[in-house]
């Protein structure tokens, strides 16, 4: 099964990769990098000639060839491009053999995957009402990001108000949902280690499932500082792009949940390896996603195949994307299940994709401190 063509479809903020073979099959992957997706498109164009003529069943070989075959390896752009290719190859492999991809990854370690949904936090009343709706829909894990509410129209993030005001939000949410609903507290990397410690200890009485991305992920030693001063569980990783960038956080047991985004971190092949590294240290995956059904399907098949999956991020796709990507997985009562369709169970309508084309999202808020200096998004 030789690769004959690679086509790239930038749609809205997403990048889809379709690989064609000489036996008439094709596989679909995703290489999205929100806000910087057009850079990934150019990387894919450069990689495409390396794929033509390759045996599409040699997934590990192709991964290694792309990663190691250049002096400048890794990084978010190249790893996102590699992820799109890798996911498409796993889709192809399942289609070639007529089985769902998760069966090629070791078979199902579970019947379905638990999902979490994000709760709007523009104000406490809306947050509570939205949470009630999601619980009525069957979701049992909710994520909140109340720090979003503490920025001015000018883009100034008030960290003091945010730290104190967040307690009101999580207290109200916990009172609303009771003890049986898990609450993830999202920070979006906006705090320093001392601020993160303060936040974790303030919200600890409200039993957060974990605090997500309390600080930037570049420096593992900073997580060690947080670890030493709070008993709240920590999750991070959506900004990390391979097993090496996860390694210290895993081996030193500095976090509890691995926020792998397989569309950034080298695809299913690399995601499976990161999960295995985490299993040794009793860490679980809580996968980040790109808000696309291809990302959702790829994560589903990975998570079905590993023993240490905790939860998977999810939100329904837009009507426009649903008109381009056809899926076979189902969401019911807070879980997602794969079908018996071969591969990842996804198909892309090329003509519809060409009509819409790329449309980059607005830049995330470039937040400032009160003195005008830059702080993290």
Alpha carbon distance 66, 51 (integer Å) = 9
Q: How many CA atoms lie within 13 A of 286 on its CB side?
A: 26
Could you give the angle at which helices 243-251 and 267-280 cross, rounded to 10 degrees? 10
- Per the annotation, the verdict on 241 as an active-site residue is no
Three-state DSSP string of 45-57 = HHHHHHHCCCECC
CA distances 82 to 24, 144, 185, 264, 271, Å, are: 23, 31, 31, 8, 12
Taking alpha carbons only, the member of 102, 74, 109, 90 closest to residue 246 is: 74
List 164, 188, 229, 281, catalytic entry: 188
List 264, 288, 301, 329, catalytic entry: 288
Could you give the angle at which helices 267-280 and 59-68 cross, rounded to 10 degrees? 90
Assigned token pair, 45: 């164009």
CA distances 267 to 273, 278, 291, 371, Å, are: 10, 17, 16, 41
Alpha carbon distance 69, 191 (integer Å) = 38
Q: How many CA atoms lie within 13 A of 8 on its CB side?
A: 21
- Per the annotation, the verdict on 264 as an active-site residue is no
Question: What is the radius of gyration, based on Cα positions, of the chain?
Answer: 20
Residues taking part in catalysis: 188, 288
């Amino acid at each position: 099964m030789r690769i004959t063509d690679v086509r790239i479809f930038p749609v809205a903020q997403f990048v889809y990769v379709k690989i064609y073979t000489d036996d008439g099959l094709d596989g679909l992957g995703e290489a999205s990098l929100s806000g910087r997706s057009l850079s990934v498109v150019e990387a894919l164009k450069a990689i495409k000639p390396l794929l033509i003529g390759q045996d599409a069943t040699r997934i590990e070989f192709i991964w290694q060839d792309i990663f190691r075959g250049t002096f400048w390896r890794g990084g978010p752009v190249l790893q996102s491009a590699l992820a799109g290719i890798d996911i498409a190859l796993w889709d192809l492999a399942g289609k070639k053999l007529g089985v769902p991809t998760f069966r090629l990854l070791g078979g199902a370690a579970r019947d379905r995957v638990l999902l979490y949904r994000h709760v709007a936090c523009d104000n406490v009343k809306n947050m509570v009402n939205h949470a009630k709706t999601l619980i009525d829909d069957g979701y049992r894990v909710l994520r909140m990001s109340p720090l979003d509410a503490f920025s001015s129209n000018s883009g100034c993030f008030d960290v003091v108000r945010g730290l104190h005001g967040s307690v009101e939000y999580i207290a109200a949410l916990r009172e609303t949902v009771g003890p049986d609903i898990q609450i993830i507290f999202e920070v979006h990397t906006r705090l320093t280690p001392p601020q993160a410690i303060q936040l974790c200890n303030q919200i600890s009485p409200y039993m957060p499932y974990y605090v997500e991305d309390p600080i930037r992920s570049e420096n593992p030693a900073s997580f060690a500082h947080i670890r030493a001063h709070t008993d709240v569980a920590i999750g991070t990783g959506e900004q990390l792009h391979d097993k090496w960038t996860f390694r210290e956080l895993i081996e030193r047991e500095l976090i509890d949940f691995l926020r792998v985004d397989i569309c950034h971190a080298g695809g299913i092949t690399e995601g499976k390896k990161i999960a295995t590294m985490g299993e040794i240290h009793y860490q679980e995956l809580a996968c980040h996603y790109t808000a696309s059904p291809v990302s959702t399907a790829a994560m589903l098949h990975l998570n079905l195949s590993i023993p240490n999956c905790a939860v998977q991020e999810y939100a329904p796709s837009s009507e426009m994307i649903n008109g381009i990507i056809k899926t076979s997985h189902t969401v019911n009562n807070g879980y997602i299940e794969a079908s018996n369709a071969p591969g990842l169970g996804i198909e892309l309508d090329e003509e519809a994709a060409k009509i819409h084309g790329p449309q980059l999202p607005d830049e995330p808020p470039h937040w400032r401190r009160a003195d005008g200096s830059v702080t993290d998004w």
